[in-house]
Amino acid sequence: MIWRSIGFLAMGLLALSGVSCSGGGDGTKADSAATSRQGDATSLEGAGATFPEPLYTRWFQTYSQAHPGVQINYQAVGSGGGIKAIIDRTADFGASDAAMTPDEMKKVDVGVQLIPMTAGSIVLAYNLEGVNELKLSPEAYAGIFLGKVTKWNDPLIAKTNAGVQLPAGDINVVVRADSSGTTFVFTKHLSAVSPDFANTVGANKRVDWPVGTQSKGNDGVAASIKATQGSIGYMEYGYAQGSKLAMAKLQNKAGKFVEPTQASGRAALASAELPKDLIVWVSNPEGEDSYPIVTFTWIICYKTYANAQKVKLLKDALTYGLTEGQEFSGEMGYIPLPEAVVAKAKAALDNIQAAGAGGKE
């Protein structure tokens, strides 16, 4: 995709930052790779979700251009990979659409701070010749991903698309193969609207899909759908937009068919109240104007780092993303954060400190 800067991605995460890596939990010891880079406070290595990767890449490129000598590399390895990188101490920061579970957080003895950085919609993109508008009810799209609705002219699809010439062909379902926050958000929504899905598949970063061609990453799903007529799959809005894929209108909790837009995404997030840990889910939002599948996405930081200069760079770069960087969100298909969320996110940056600095907990 044109708007993705492949050359900017890190080639690996083998020689990384001055992140505290000991078993002592006080943030004062580091592994050999980190120790060898104690003087390198002009670079950061990140890894995680593919969902926000185009936006993060643009942020970090723009920030680095304004700060000569600074390099911030981000490797899109999926939310599960980002969480693993934080637990294994192989990155300065991670990124996840699935946040982190309490058990995952307990594995990081220096603590973690999750910062919501942007938000977006999960869409159902499709490739169906002659069908320019498609409306899907929760029963229909849950049935598709359960493998129970297998033909495009199934009555569950036909009844919400009067006058549309639906083909009789098979539905080719495309799903994620990797550990994915996009999958977590989508399956969490499906579990909220379909008891059958909740009881048989459930919500997780990686699930045992009863049907589907598996592809890696949001970009992989988009490419698979674009290549195969009769396909449908889930992905972040920006990838569908960038691939020029049609997106279904989904029926929300109020019974309205809504297309994914900034306005419908903002409407869905309007009721979200961020708790102290800044992790909240809006799995089936209220409101006639709300698009039904939206999520925040988080950057994961350690609470304690060994290098004070690296902490300063990290916090400054994230502050840029939360302020000037939000201007890029809308044009790239994301949902800019509400002001109240930005304020809480900026305040949470105070919890990120260098060893011995005595930050907030």
Which residues are 215's β-sheet partners?
176
Question: How do residues 41-95 score in pLDDT, each as one tens digit?
Answer: 589 999 999 999 999 999 999 999 999 999 999 999 999 999 999 999 999 999 9
pLDDT at 31 over 80: no
Q: Across residues 245-261, what is the average pLDDT?
A: 98
Question: What is the model's pLDDT at position 249?
Answer: 98
For the cut 60, the answer to whether the pLDDT of residue 132 exceeds it is: yes
Provide the pLDDT confidence category of residue 330 given band limits of 50, 70 and 90: confident
pLDDT of residue 204: 96
Please give the span between the terminal C-alpha atoms of the chain, in angstroms, as a whole number: 41
Q: What amino acid is encoded at 236 in this protein?
A: E
- Distances in Å between the Cα of 36 and the Cα atoms of 30, 32, 76, 237, 307 are 9, 6, 25, 40, 12
pLDDT digits (tens, 9 = 90+) for 147-189: 999 999 999 999 999 999 999 999 999 999 999 999 999 999 9
Alpha-carbon span 257 to 198, nearest angstrom: 23
* Mean pLDDT taken over the chain: 89
Query: What is the number of alpha carbons within 13 Å of residue 48 lying toward its C-beta?
Result: 32
- The reported pLDDT for the residue numbered 357 is 63
- Is residue 123 within 8 A of residue 235, CB to CB? The reply is yes
Determine contact, residues 92/16, Cβ cutoff 8 Å.
yes
Residue 344 has pLDDT above 50, yes or no: yes
**Are the folds of 6-120+297-354 and 121-269 the same?**
yes
pLDDT > 90 fraction of the chain, expressed in percent and rounded: 85
The domain segmentation of the chain, as residue ranges, is 6-120+297-354, 121-269
Confidence of residue 13 (pLDDT cuts 50, 70, 90): very low
Judge whether 56 and 46 are in contact, CB under 8 Å: yes
Q: Which helix (H) or strand (E) holds 348?
A: helix 339-348
Work out the average pLDDT over 346-356: 95
Q: How many residues does the chain have?
A: 361
Choice among 24-38, 154-168, 323-337 with the minimum mean pLDDT: 24-38
Kindly compute the dihedral angle of the four CA atoms of residues 191, 195, 198, 200, in this order, to the nearest 10 degrees: -140
Neighbouring CB atoms inside 10 A of 158's CB total: 14
Give the dihedral sign, CA 185/188/190/192: negative
Q: Residue 41: what pLDDT?
A: 59
DSSP structural state of residue 90: -
Domain 121-269: give its CATH code: 3.40.190.10
Higher pLDDT, 60 or 2: 60
Q: pLDDT per residue over 221-243, tens digit each?
A: 999 999 999 999 999 999 999 99
Q: What is the mean pLDDT of residues 8-12?
A: 34
Q: Which residue has the tokens 């926050």?
A: 181
In this predicted structure, the answer to whether residue 11 has a pLDDT above a threshold of 70 is no
C-beta of residue 314 within 8 angstroms of C-beta of residue 19: no
Name the pLDDT band for 345 (thresholds 50, 70, 90): very high
Render 216-235 in DSSP notation, one character per residue.
SHHHHHHHHHHHSTTEEEEE
Closest CA to 204 of 187, 225, 222: 187
Q: Which residue's structure tokens are 């977590």? A: 184
Q: What is the pLDDT of residue 271?
A: 79
Given pLDDT bands bounded at 50, 70 and 90, which one contains residue 356? confident
| Helix/strand/coil percent split, the chain, to 5 | 35, 20, 45
Least confident window among 28-37, 205-214, 308-317, 352-361: 28-37
Predicted local confidence at residue 358, as pLDDT: 53
The answer for residues whose C-beta is within 8 angstroms of residue 228's C-beta and 6 or more apart is 127, 172, 174, 213
| Closest to 98 in 3D by CA, of 183, 177, 216, 178 | 183
Quick: pLDDT tens for 261-316: 999 999 999 878 899 999 999 999 999 999 999 999 999 999 999 999 999 999 99
In this prediction, residue 42 carries a pLDDT of 82
Report the CATH number of the 6-120+297-354 domain: 3.40.190.10
Strand 112-127 vs strand 231-236: parallel, antiparallel, or unpaired?
antiparallel
For residue 125, the model assigns a pLDDT of 98
